[in-house]
């Protein structure tokens, strides 16, 4: 049986506080450290100074030190206790991109029927589209042009997919309306 000998090195938190106070010029009294992964972390409240007290060039960063001082503190702490100091960095919240409303305006168009289309979606069928397509025998491309023209007249800038969607719903409605109803006796 192999005996493993361990050496325990204890560094009092007060000594670490003293080093941080000397290097960072920060008072850590009343601040409790905690383990963050493999690091000892201190969370400090940041007291904001007013812009009237300091000009923009004199303002200190979150840690209050320049890059060289931060490196020196990290090096000294690594030598002393194997700890590292990572400055807390606040990330800016990502701004949400404004999206264009992706719905077709149908204001003022009376709804003729509400159908469930071939894709299983509940869709409204509008009177101007029914009137424009029901009495004409035209090609599919001509039907698309008519539907697009009606949508543009109502203040829309429809995508080809929207035109196709409204056209298909209207044509499905017209097909079901013109089918003869079977009589059961």
Q: What is the mean pLDDT of the chain?
A: 77
Q: Is the pLDDT of residue 165 over 90?
A: yes
pLDDT per residue as tens digits for the range 26-39: 777 777 888 877 77
pTM of the model: 0.45
- The encoded tokens of residue 133 equal 């397509």
**What is the pLDDT averaged over residues 105-115?**
91
What is the band of 88 on the pLDDT scale with cuts at 50, 70, 90? low
What is the band of 42 on the pLDDT scale with cuts at 50, 70, 90? confident
Q: For position 20, what pLDDT does the model report?
A: 82
């Amino acid at each position: 049986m192999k005996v493993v000998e361990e050496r325990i090195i204890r560094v009092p938190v007060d000594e670490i506080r003293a080093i941080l106070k000397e290097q960072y010029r920060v008072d850590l009294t009343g601040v409790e450290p905690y383990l963050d992964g493999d690091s000892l972390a201190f969370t400090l409240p940041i007291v904001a100074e007013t812009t009237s007290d300091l000009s923009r060039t004199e303002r200190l960063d979150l840690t209050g030190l320049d890059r060289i001082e931060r490196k020196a503190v990290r090096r000294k702490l690594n030598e002393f206790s194997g700890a590292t100091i990572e400055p807390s960095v606040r990330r800016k919240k990502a701004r949400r991109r404004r999206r264009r409303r992706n719905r077709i305006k149908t204001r003022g168009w009376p709804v003729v029927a509400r159908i469930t289309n071939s894709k299983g979606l509940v869709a409204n069928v509008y009177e101007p589209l029914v009137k424009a397509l029901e009495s004409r025998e035209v090609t599919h491309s001509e039907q698309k042009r008519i539907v697009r023209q009606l949508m543009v007249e109502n203040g829309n800038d429809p995508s080809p997919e929207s035109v196709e969607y409204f056209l298909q719903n209207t044509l499905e409605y017209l097909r079901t309306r013109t089918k003869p109803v079977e009589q059961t006796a």
